[in-house]
Amino acid sequence: QARCLCVNMHRLDKQTVSRIKSEQVIVDVPSAVKELVENALDGGADQVWVTLEGQGLSKITVQDTGSGMTLEQLQMCALPHTTSKIETYEDIGGVVSYGFRGEALASLASISQELEIISRPNKSLISEKLLEKAQDVAYSLKYDHHGNPNEDSVTTQAMSPGTRIIVKNLFKDLPVRHKVCKQDKTVAKRVNHVVTEYALVHPKLRIQLKNPPQAPFMKGPTSDNLSTVALLFGPAFADGLSEIKEEIEDGPFPWTFEALIPSPTSPDPAICSRSTGERNFIYVNKRPVECSAISRMIINSWRDSCEQRSRFPFIFVLLTLPHNTFEINLSSNKRKIFFHEQDYIL
């Protein structure tokens, strides 16, 4: 016999709706770090510092040297679906930034006990339209669970141009989620992977991760992607890779293909491979994506060439495509991708 769970149909209150939607965007500490690092990169930052306390559940701090925000922008930035990237749905097809939905800061405000943002405009990176509103000090604001600024929390601070975002007590009011995240022994490894993804595809970026008791992750500017691999994984590792660059002009549209994969002639294939597929880095226009078709094609080809059936090669693939040839608005983390001409690309 069916059990009636709700006698009367009713609309959920705003706070409940906000939390339900927010939990779909920020599902754990690595996804929170991902969103904040992408915010920094979208702001033009060339330096990003990430600091976690209590594995990120107690405190996450991300500071950057990006464009920063005016006081007016600070007052709006954590409201749901507030963004500077698009104005209508049709704009998504041409979006070049990592973020565009205006969900991340609103989600963090909803599922943390405190969200604080300190920002000072970088006058060399903001538009002329905002210059007249740009202050020479940093403003600090805290936000309620709906993303509204607590006006009595507004203070000024001395800070270099850029933005610092502080998230305290993530998931503290969601006891089950908090417990699951606290017991998850893979958090540190996955946060490190997130930072590595953006470090690899942005050679000029200086990025640092501190997550005690783990060893700090530090990457300085490099000249190219291969140099970044050498810096992060060692010169011997980089020496075992083949670098491929192709510009494809014939076909439905022009595009470029860059890859770093283990050399099939390497005397020791084990150097650039692992027993798991965790070093699989695929990007479209510098956005990390999941594409099993590309991964599977490269893995099978490499295994056939060196007879390493139980190992997974290091994969770095960067596709640069026209923005109207793929879709990434398919999942909350924007990792799934749909190519309009997948057969042509493969």
Q: In this predicted model, what pLDDT tens digit does every residue of 63-94 receive, in sequence order? A: 999 999 988 889 988 988 777 665 565 555 66
Least confident of 50-59, 135-144, 219-228, 265-274: 265-274
CB distance 149 to 141 below 8 Å: yes
At 31, is the secondary structure helix, strand, or coil? helix
Q: Is pLDDT at 21 greater than 60 in this prediction? A: no
Res 20: pLDDT: 55
Mean pLDDT of 298-302: 89
CB distance 77 to 69 below 8 Å: yes
Res 100: pLDDT: 58
Q: Is pLDDT at 22 greater than 50 in this prediction? A: no
CB distance 283 to 289 below 8 Å: yes
List, for residues 176-228, the tens digit of each pLDDT value: 999 999 999 999 999 999 999 999 999 999 999 999 999 999 999 999 999 99
* Bigger pLDDT: 21 vs 55: 55
Q: Is pLDDT at 18 greater than 60 in this prediction? A: no
Which of 10, 86, 74 lies closest to 329, judged by CA?
86
- Residue 93: exposed, middle, or buried by beta-carbon count in 10 A (0-12, 13-18, 19+)? middle
Give 127-166 as a DSSP string.
-HHHHTT--SSEEEEEE-TTS-B-GGG-EEE---SEEEEE
CA distance 112 to 176: 14
pTM here is: 0.87
Q: Residue 260 is inside which H or E element, if any?
A: strand 255-262
Q: Is pLDDT at 14 greater than 70 in this prediction? A: no
